[in-house]
């Protein structure tokens, strides 16, 4: 039985003070002894340390929104795995659609970042998903399969990798893939992992859904056999809503 995993991606939201307040509200809403599913929050880089202090000792883990594939150097605006580990991150999100869409992320650079993160002991959430144009052109399967295959190229052990399926057309739009649509792509991803790594690895792999998940639709989505939780955007900025989604996964 795969344990559900729910992670809140706060994106470019909240000051340090606001992030600290939200983290405190979430810990209070869940209770320090909560263990129904694996939980994480991904504040902005500047808020990681302070948010990390607040969630220390709770069931909530600290997650980074990205990482670079070099240890240090002339990479203005980037952040290294060593820096993330130093502030207590256990997971890093890689390949989010917004990184692909706005900042030139490719399957090749996703692969480099994943290799670096895993080599440094960070767990990875690999994001994949198609745009509206790609879905309407009926190339969802090709796009997602390529993102998974090329993103994980040369990686032999995926035991600390989570995949998040995020249909780009359902992120921040209020639109949500139906539970059947989401399940179809989650099954595609699991079948792709079976071909790459075998039945055992595919059976253990956790696949999250991301795309306008709310308290009102979380339970139906998480009830699907291949949906193992969620990567939550907007709803994670409200402690009560995020806690409700987490409890739906439990």
Provide the domain count of the chain: 1
- Residues marked as catalytic: 96, 166
Residue that has been written with the tokens 């090749």 in this structure: 108
The token pair that represents 95 in the structure block: 């390949």
Report DSSP state, residue 163: E
pLDDT given for residue 170 in this prediction: 75
Q: Residue 237 sits in a domain of what CATH number?
A: 3.20.20.70
90 marked as part of a ligand binding site = no
Query: What proportions of the chain, in percent to the nearest 5, are helix, strand and coil?
Result: 50, 15, 35
**Cα separation, 24 vs 6, whole angstroms:** 17
234 marked as part of a ligand binding site = yes
Residue that has been written with the tokens 């694996």 in this structure: 38
Residue that has been written with the tokens 């993160």 in this structure: 117
**Cα separation, 155 vs 153, whole angstroms:** 6
Mean pLDDT of 137-149: 96
Query: Longest C-alpha distance within the chain, in Å?
Result: 47
pLDDT digits (tens, 9 = 90+) for 21-32: 999 999 999 986
The token pair that represents 96 in the structure block: 């989010």
9 marked as part of a ligand binding site = yes
Which pTM does this prediction carry? Answer: 0.96
217 marked as part of a ligand binding site = no
pLDDT digits (tens, 9 = 90+) for 90-130: 999 999 999 999 999 999 999 999 999 999 999 999 999 99
121 marked as part of a ligand binding site = no
Handedness of CA 242, 209, 205, 163 (dihedral sign): negative
43 neighbors 59 (Cβ within 8 angstroms): no
Mean pLDDT of 200-229: 95
pLDDT given for residue 32 in this prediction: 65
Range of the domain at 135: 5-249
The token pair that represents 150 in the structure block: 């090329």
């Amino acid at each position: 039985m795969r344990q559900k995993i729910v992670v809140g991606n706060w994106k470019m939201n909240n000051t340090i003070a606001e992030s600290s307040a939200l983290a405190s509200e979430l810990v209070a809403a869940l209770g320090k002894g909560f263990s129904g599913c694996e939980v994480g929050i991904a504040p902005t880089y500047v808020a990681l340390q302070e948010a990390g202090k607040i969630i220390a000792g709770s069931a909530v883990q600290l997650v980074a929104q990205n990482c670079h594939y070099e240890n240090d150097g002339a990479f203005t605006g980037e952040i290294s795995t060593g820096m993330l580990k130093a502030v207590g991150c256990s997971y890093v999100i890689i390949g989010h659609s917004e990184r692909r869409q706005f900042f030139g992320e490719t399957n090749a650079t996703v692969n480099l970042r994943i290799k670096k993160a895993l080599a440094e002991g960070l767990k990875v959430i690999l994001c994949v998903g198609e745009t509206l144009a790609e879905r309407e052109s009926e190339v969802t399967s090709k796009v997602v399969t390529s993102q998974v295959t090329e993103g994980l190229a040369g990686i032999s052990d995926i035991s600390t990798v989570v995949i998040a399926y995020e249909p780009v057309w359902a992120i921040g739009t209020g639109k949500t893939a139906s539970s059947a649509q989401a399940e179809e792509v989650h099954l595609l991803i699991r079948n792709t992992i079976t071909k790459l790594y075998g039945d055992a690895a595919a059976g253990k792999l956790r696949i999250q859904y991301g795309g306008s998940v709310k308290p009102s639709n979380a339970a139906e989505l998480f009830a699907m056999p291949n949906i193992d939780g969620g990567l939550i955007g907007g709803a994670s900025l409200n402690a009560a809503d995020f806690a409700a989604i987490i409890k739906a996964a439990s």
